[in-house]
Amino acid sequence: MSDIIHLLPDSIANQIAAGEVIQRPASVVKELVENSLDAEAKHIHIIIKDAGRTLIQIIDDGKGMSATDARMAFERHATSKIKTADDLFSLYTRGFRGEALASVAAIAHVELKTRRVEDEVGTLLKIIGSKVESQETVSCAVGTTISVKNIFFNVPARRKFLKSNETERRNIFTEIERIAMVNPDIEFTVIENDIQTLHLPATNLRQRIVQMQGKSINQQLIEINEETTLAKIHGYISTPQFAKKGRANQFFFANNRYIRHPYFHKAVMTAYEPLISATENPNYFIYFEVEPDTIDVNIHPTKTEVKFENERTLWQILMVTVKESLGKFNAIPSIDFDTADAPDIPIFDPSKSTSMPKVSINPNYNPFQTSQGDSYKATKPKLDWEQLYKGFENEAKTSSVSPDVDADLFQTYSENGDSSFLASPEHYQYKQKYILTSVKSGLMIIDQHRAHVRILFDKYLSQVTNRKGISQRVLFPEMIELTSAETSSLSEIMEDMEALGFELSDLGNNTFAIHGIPSELQNIDAVALIRSTIDKNMETGSNVQEQVHESLALSMANFTAIPVGKSLSEEEMLLMVNQLFACQSPNYTPDGKSVITVISDEEMDKKLK
């Protein structure tokens, strides 16, 4: 038998690759406009006919191309923007794979007219389905004009796949909007079917937002601006009064690219939480600038997902930044801040060594075995949530805490030396919601539910990452019926669920049997827990494993933490406090809510003067 493997002709390879980059007219608009921006154009015209089906033409006044470069530009992997692999990680420009023009030329009739300022004449190049039809010199203005006609003329399946003009048009405007919002200093003009439908003169960011979102937004914009060593964050958020039901204008950008980031969205919503109702949405336009090598811009040019290094710290910074800006605007009652709600977030500075505050804890201490005699033992609480702590006592003995904890808090605890301190602070439960205790600098108030969320989150996260969860088989497996979307979400997290101790078997038809559950969750409604975990996973929509783990651990923690309204014995409070302070970040829940606040002695003295 003769060999059967042969290489595809370039034109077909280009057509296949084009499917990745160019899905619809909007992708052409995006790629071409980004090229114009990379070429430092100041004025960009976007001309569209029939929602891009018949014509997409981009006219720019950028630096243009030489005759040779014009020809080269359509070769696959032809780019003037990367020379070494390192460039891939430090690029600030937009498309960077040298694939856009090759892809566009593979699936349309393309005409390129371009001239550099130093050239007398320009170049006119015509390409149809990757094949160069003609190249000639022409006289033309400095800059580049690219016309893309009859998109997908040679890929009928794709052409058929295009949606209604209205939908394709909306997609085009979505792309233009995302680009315009990061380039306020560039003038954009859109002409559709010979009528000018959008004109954005060059301006500043605030005015660009107003141009795009309508005049009425101006009065509701609050500026945010924060500079840390991890990131610069700036932009605008809306005053809470303008939050609206349903969809709002919510934009994140990282290094001048539009990104989707459900996790950071939560940070913003957390900051607004006390001010708006759960069904309302604020507008926001938030721009991150980070070192390019600390962000993993998905190499795929059409994707908008990115992963930041230090995402959890950035979450906190973002949340506090938004909260403070709302506060400065007097949107939040000032008491929220005065009473120590917003401790400074330490910015990691590798050049300085941070000394860790130490807590010394008696490793033999067990709050359920007191030295106060047998009579006391007899009253050992028998609460059902007690077993949530099982196997946890050991972890509470960790002896170092992270520097983001007010060192003062610990002094009280460590001053008295080992075991004695554990017994010394008195705890008082207030309205079955808060644990009050005295610390060196004043009165510490701990939210019992949030404290427990923090404790359990750390525990579950370590279980899921270390694959350490212990499963308990159930006698009578319960069934859980899902939709197909839920099933596919479950399959994404199945392995991690198993790591926590769930045992599920697929019965087909989107039905699963629950054979085992994590051993510490015995009195929990497993079906409801699995459902809420799936919901959470669908909501965050992430498939970055670290985020999946966190989201899983958080939904489990939220579900299983003791609620407000639960009365706690002295031992339980003590245990909770000790476990909380054994956590790396006791100050906040994983989703950024304050766990602890301290009312200082001075504040109290002042109030009682």
Q: What residues make contact with Mg ion under the rule CB under 5 A?
A: 35, 95, 100
The residue within the footprint of ligand ADP, chosen from 97, 169, 178, 536 (CB under 6 A), is: 97
* C-beta of 95 vs 327, nearer to ligand ADP: 95
The residue within the footprint of ligand ADP, chosen from 52, 98, 442, 590 (CB under 6 A), is: 98
Q: Does residue 323 bind ligand ADP (CB under 6 A)?
A: no
Q: Does residue 501 bind ligand ADP (CB under 6 A)?
A: no
Q: Does residue 533 bind ligand ADP (CB under 6 A)?
A: no
Q: Does residue 518 bind ligand ADP (CB under 6 A)?
A: no
Q: Does residue 523 bind ligand ADP (CB under 6 A)?
A: no
The one-letter code for the residue type at 339 is T
Stretch of residues binding ligand ADP (CB under 6 A), selected from 36-44, 170-178, 223-231, 583-591: 36-44
Determine the distance from the C-alpha atom of residue 462 to the mean position of all C-alpha atoms in its chain, rounded to a whole number: 21
Determine the distance from the C-alpha atom of residue 436 to the mean position of all C-alpha atoms in its chain, rounded to a whole number: 34
Which is it for the CA torsion 111, 116, 117, 121, positive or negative? Answer: negative
Distance between CA 280 and CA 285 in Å, rounded?
Answer: 17
Q: Does residue 593 bind ligand ADP (CB under 6 A)?
A: no
Q: Does residue 100 bind ligand ADP (CB under 6 A)?
A: yes
**CB under 8 Å to 122, separation ≥6 — which residues?**
64, 113, 114, 115, 137, 138, 139, 140
79 binds, among ligand ADP, Mg ion, none (CB under 5 to 8 A by kind): ligand ADP
78 binds, among ligand ADP, Mg ion, none (CB under 5 to 8 A by kind): ligand ADP
CB of 100 to Mg ion, least distance (A): 4
The residue within the footprint of ligand ADP, chosen from 62, 129, 184, 367 (CB under 6 A), is: 62
Residue 606 CA: distances (Å) to CA of 342, 392, 599, 600, 601: 21, 41, 11, 10, 8
The one-letter code for the residue type at 12 is I
* C-beta of 81 vs 433, nearer to ligand ADP: 81
Strand order in the sheet with 55-60: 131-138, 122-128, 109-115, 143-149, 55-60, 43-49, 187-192, 195-200
Q: Does residue 73 bind ligand ADP (CB under 6 A)?
A: yes
The residue within the footprint of ligand ADP, chosen from 18, 22, 39, 435 (CB under 6 A), is: 39
Q: Does residue 586 bind ligand ADP (CB under 6 A)?
A: no
**Structure tokens of 128?**
């149809």
429 binds, among Mg ion, ligand ADP, none (CB under 5 to 8 A by kind): none
- In the block, tokens 């380039």 appear at 183
User: Considering all CA atoms of the chain, what is the largest pairwise distance in Å, rounded to the nearest integer?
Assistant: 101
Q: Does residue 95 bind ligand ADP (CB under 6 A)?
A: yes
Total site size for ligand ADP, rule CB under 6 A: 24
- 518: β partners: 471
81 binds, among Mg ion, ligand ADP, none (CB under 5 to 8 A by kind): ligand ADP
Q: Does residue 60 bind ligand ADP (CB under 6 A)?
A: yes
3-state SS, one letter per residue, for 70-108? HHHCCCCCCCCCCCCCCHHHHCCCCCCCCCHHHHHHHCC
Write the burial class of residue 567 (CB in 10 Å: 0-12 exposed, 13-18 middle, 19+ buried): exposed
Query: Footprint of ligand ADP on this chain (CB under 6 A)?
Result: 31, 35-36, 38-39, 60, 62-65, 73, 78-81, 95-102, 144
